[in-house]
Amino acid sequence: MRSNAPHSARHTGYPGADLRALRKTRGLTLAGLAEKLGRSVGWLSQVERDLSEPSITDLRHLAAALDVSVSMLFRHAAAPAHEAGYIVRADARRPIGSDTAGLVEELLSPDLTDDFEMVHSTFQPHSRIKDLVKRPTQEVGYLISGRLQMEIDGTTHEINPGDSFRMRGEPFRWANPHDKPAVAIWVIAPPVY
């Protein structure tokens, strides 16, 4: 892991290192994000190093400034010491992403301090994203179950279980016009959630 956070910080489940990773992914400096929040650089630095704990209001402001869900920034269940930073149990996944109707996303990676993130995505039946998504990432998806339509760079593809797909900054959108949920694993670099 690239994290410089103290080893004990990983045990608390506090997302300081994740905040730093999200800030950097969005091209924000400490000073730039602190200014957006109306807080000092020192305060933000302490939060990122797990030396200070933000209030719920601070977390809401951070989530808005970083364009992530508030739940992404809340303290998550601490893993046992021997698993912290290595293992994510199925019942301890963090919900991530936006509140897009019909899509449930959970972080499979222990945190956002790596060069990539791994996401478990469930697309509910008869759901779709209307607007194209374009982000400066490389993404690979693997469909576990169900069927999914992926429009990538203007071409629509029918994705079946066992199929995989990739986007390298191309605009894309998804749809599940079928009667069963579609479940996919996504790897995204750099982390965007």
The tens digit of pLDDT for each residue in 105-116 reads: 998 998 888 899
Range in 21-25, 33-37, 170-174 the model is least confident about: 21-25
Q: How confident is the model at residue 151 (pLDDT cuts 50, 70, 90)?
A: very high
What is residue 76's predicted lDDT score, i.e. its pLDDT? Answer: 58
Query: What b/e readout covers 139-158, taking b as 16+ CB neighbours within 10 angstroms?
Result: bebebeebbbbbbbeeeeee
**Local structure of 31: helix, strand or coil:** helix
